[in-house]
Amino acid sequence: MKIPINIPAIDKEEIREVNKVLSEKSLTSASFNGGKQVQQFEKLLSKFVKSKFAVAVNSGTAALQASLYAIDIKPGDEVLVPSFTFVATANSVKSVGAKPVFVDILKSNYTIDPSDLKKKITRRTKAIIPVHLYGHMAYMDEILEIAKKKHIKIIEDASQSLGSKLRNKHSGTFSHLGCFSMYAGKVITSGEGGAVITNNKKLFEKLKQIRNHGLSKNNLTTRFGLNLRISEISAAIGKIQMRKLPHLLNQRRKNAKALTEILEHSDIILPEPRKNEIVNWYLYTIAMKSRDNAMKKLNASGIAARVYYSPPVHKTPYYKTRLHLANTEWAASHVMSLPVHPNVRNQDLVRMKNILLGRN
């Protein structure tokens, strides 16, 4: 049996809800508040993460773009981002005319390094986008302290971390804006989709305009905006997925716990949540010397282990720089992600262990 790295947990409930939207022929809405399905999805998301507001958009990238526009990032501004992440984090900064400045990561959980972050701040630095990578929470206490002293705004890229918490506080809620992705491979999906959460009413109102061509409640263009709207079909899928989310997270945590228990006495570097951290286990990411060889064996066995962010963003052809980020480059050559989604069975985990430990 082939085991994909991630797979959407779609069944009859989502199909029934999509068919309902199709039968009503209300596929999208350009209203200020969005359509019925969009509003229901937003309410479920904000309730889950305990934020006052949520604004659904058509991708995680759109969530980042909208957030940057909402905090008035302008051409020439600098935004600090990790290089060890999906390219969308940097692309969103470029898309608003600003400059992404690449920061190294910590080896402990592959999130942005607060000490290197501090060194990269200049008078042009206007924002920081920490990424909660693989579901692991960035060191938000340290980042918030740095940002407060320097009067820098923070947008959390929580695309991979829906359901992750630190001290019982959800990812995306540590700063004014948190961005999520509902891409097909995430812990829940709406097909393509994303959302921004906030407790700030002014930002909430701005975001609703930005996602809909800058139109106000009176249908007047009062600020810059784009078509970042999510369809009613996508929102309907997302709504059902939100209801399933606690169960899906529980299954991922069970699989991650089991995988840790069977690998913990090996020389493989395993992911380790911090004290008071709950990880959503979007991906179970390990580090090892013979990474590439192990991945080939896993793939040949039908287990879709994947290497992400190699090369890291600052080494890609478009962004290529001479910048040396030691931990980022180490991670790019050593880490590998394993599937722990709800469709992974105990025998699959044992198969992974046997291959990784050379017992196959």
Give the mean model confidence (pLDDT) for residues 43-67: 98
Give the mean model confidence (pLDDT) for residues 65-83: 98
Q: Is 220 exposed, middle or buried (0-12, 13-18, 19+ CB in 10 A)?
A: exposed
Give the mean model confidence (pLDDT) for residues 89-107: 98
Q: Is the pLDDT of residue 101 over 80?
A: yes
pLDDT digits (tens, 9 = 90+) for 204-215: 999 999 999 999
CATH code reported for the domain at 12-240 = 3.40.640.10
Q: Is the pLDDT of residue 24 over 90?
A: yes
Q: What's the half-sphere exposure (Cβ side, CA atoms, 13 Å) at 305?
A: 26
The H or E element spanning position 89 is helix 88-95
Please choose, from the candidates 264, 192, 201, 279, the residue with its C-alpha nearest in 3D space to the C-alpha of residue 234: 192
Share of the chain above pLDDT 70, in %: 99
| Whole-number Å distance between alpha carbons of 200 and 194 | 18
Predicted pLDDT at 290 = 92
pLDDT digits (tens, 9 = 90+) for 245-263: 999 999 999 999 999 999 9
Q: Give the model's confidence band at 360: pLDDT under 50 very low, under 70 low, under 90 confident, else very high.
A: low
CATH 3.90.1150.10 residue spans of the chain: 245-356
The residue written with tokens 């604004």 in the block is 55
The CATH label, of 3.40.50.1370, 3.90.1010.10, 3.40.640.10, 3.90.1150.10, for the domain at 245-356 is: 3.90.1150.10
Give the start-end residues of each E strand in 230-301. 277-278, 284-287
Distances (CA, A) of 70 to 64, 200, 223: 10, 11, 10
Give the mean model confidence (pLDDT) for residues 214-228: 95
Please choose, from the candidates 200, 191, 207, 199, the residue with its C-alpha nearest in 3D space to the C-alpha of residue 55: 207
CATH 3.40.640.10 residue spans of the chain: 12-240
Predicted pLDDT at 63 = 98
pLDDT digits (tens, 9 = 90+) for 150-208: 999 999 999 999 999 999 999 999 999 999 999 999 999 999 999 999 999 999 999 99
| pTM above threshold 0.75 | yes
The residue written with tokens 């999520």 in the block is 180
Give the mean model confidence (pLDDT) for residues 136-147: 98
Contact 13, 239 (CB under 8 A): no
Q: Give the model's confidence band at 358: pLDDT under 50 very low, under 70 low, under 90 confident, else very high.
A: confident
Token couple for 22: 């199709």
| Average pLDDT of the chain to the nearest whole number | 97
The residue written with tokens 């004290």 in the block is 275
Token couple for 150: 């320097």
Give the mean model confidence (pLDDT) for residues 126-140: 98
Token couple for 164: 């992750």
